[in-house]
């Protein structure tokens, strides 16, 4: 009996060690992907095509600026076209240990609106990005599990440690460049959103997806975002990323 008990204990310990090693390997992969995409700042002009369920296409444009990286960054995006959305802006203050703080400026009402945590799952101003999708969370805000490879890429399960609209996500990461090629997000009801990253090019040594496509599964609509005039590590002033600047620059 003692020998059988010891054998079970050893088997359980071996399984625990294997599970911990697998989790560590998954975390190391995501950490390396984050490391390779880090930059002190970023700026691009985005062209968005929002394609509805009936294939109606609405084109929007925004300018995106970010200072800092991942969980310690500040980001500002502002629509520049068409006229009915021009000037609408979103300020995002990312944190390493919790969800971001977000404020939206709408010129039509002349004031900013703080985005409540419970509203982060809603669409951002007619696109298929939710407010939460526009955050830049740090790798340490998730737990990871390495799954069997798919299509020659790592497949990793990601579960948020902090409140999120998503219960878990799947990430597909390129083995040579450590770039995220696809993400699927799930909640209690099932698949919610699919994000594809493509048209990769090196910009200042960073492999960057020049096209991002977001599919809203429930609405059966999608948004295609194309980067233009993309720059990294450019000088940006801290005072651009304040609520006061939202009003001032509108």
Sequential pLDDT tens for the chain (250 residues): 455 555 555 554 444 444 444 556 999 999 999 999 999 999 999 999 999 988 899 999 999 999 999 888 999 999 999 999 999 999 999 998 888 999 999 998 888 999 999 999 999 998 999 999 999 988 999 999 999 999 999 999 999 998 999 999 999 999 999 999 999 999 999 999 999 999 999 999 999 999 999 999 999 999 999 999 999 999 999 999 999 888 876 5
Rounded to the nearest 5°, which phi and psi values hold at 220? 60, 40
Number of domains in the chain: 1
Q: Look at residue 236 and tell me if it is in a domain.
A: yes
Q: Look at residue 8 and tell me if it is in a domain.
A: no
pLDDT of residue 19: 45
pLDDT of residue 95: 92
pLDDT of residue 137: 87
Q: Look at residue 11 and tell me if it is in a domain.
A: no
Do residues 66 and 77 lie in contact, with contact meaning Cβ atoms separated by under 8 Å?
no
- Please state the pTM of the whole predicted model: 0.86
pLDDT of residue 144: 97
Q: Look at residue 6 and tell me if it is in a domain.
A: no
Q: Look at residue 106 and tell me if it is in a domain.
A: yes
Take residue 243 and report the two structure tokens written for it.
């609520």
Length of the chain: 250
- CA–CA distances in Å: residue 8 to residues 3, 12, 21, 78: 9, 6, 20, 59
Q: Look at residue 67 and tell me if it is in a domain.
A: yes
pLDDT of residue 14: 45
Half-sphere exposure of 224 (CA within 13 A, CB side): 10
Instruction: Give the CATH number of the domain where residue 233 resides.
Output: 2.50.20.10
Domain of 177 in residue numbering reads as: 34-248
Q: Look at residue 24 and tell me if it is in a domain.
A: no
pLDDT of residue 3: 59
Q: Look at residue 10 and tell me if it is in a domain.
A: no
- Gap between the Cα atoms of 47 and 31, Å rounded: 29
pLDDT of residue 9: 55
- Gap between the Cα atoms of 194 and 222, Å rounded: 9
The residues that bridge with 102 in the sheet, in sequence order, are 92
Residue that is written with structure tokens 């002033």 in the block: 237
């Amino acid at each position: 009996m003692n020998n059988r008990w010891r054998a079970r204990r050893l088997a359980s310990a071996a399984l625990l060690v294997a599970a911990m090693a697998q989790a560590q390997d998954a975390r190391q992969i995501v950490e390396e992907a984050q490391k390779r995409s880090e930059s002190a700042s970023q700026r691009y002009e985005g062209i968005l095509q929002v394609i509805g369920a009936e294939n109606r296409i609405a084109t929007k444009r925004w300018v995106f600026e970010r200072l800092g990286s991942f969980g310690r960054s500040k980001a500002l995006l502002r629509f520049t076209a068409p006229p009915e959305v021009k000037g609408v802006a979103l300020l995002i203050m990312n944190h390493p240990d919790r969800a971001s703080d977000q404020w939206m400026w709408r010129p039509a009402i002349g004031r900013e609106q703080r985005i409540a945590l419970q509203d982060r799952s809603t669409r951002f101003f007619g696109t298929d990005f939710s407010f939460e999708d526009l955050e830049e969370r740090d790798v340490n805000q998730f737990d990871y599990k390495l799954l069997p490879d798919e299509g020659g890429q790592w497949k990793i399960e990601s579960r948020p440690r902090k409140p999120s609209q998503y219960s878990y996500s799947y990430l597909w990461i390129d083995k040579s460049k450590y770039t995220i090629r696809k993400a699927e997000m799930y909640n209690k009801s099932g698949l919610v959103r699919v994000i594809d990253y493509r048209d990769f090019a090196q910009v200042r040594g960073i492999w960057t997806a020049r096209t991002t496509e977001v599919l809203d599964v429930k609405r059966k609509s999608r948004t295609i975002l194309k980067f233009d005039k993309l720059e990294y590590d450019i000088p940006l002033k801290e005072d651009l990323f304040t609520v006061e600047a939202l009003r001032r620059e509108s």
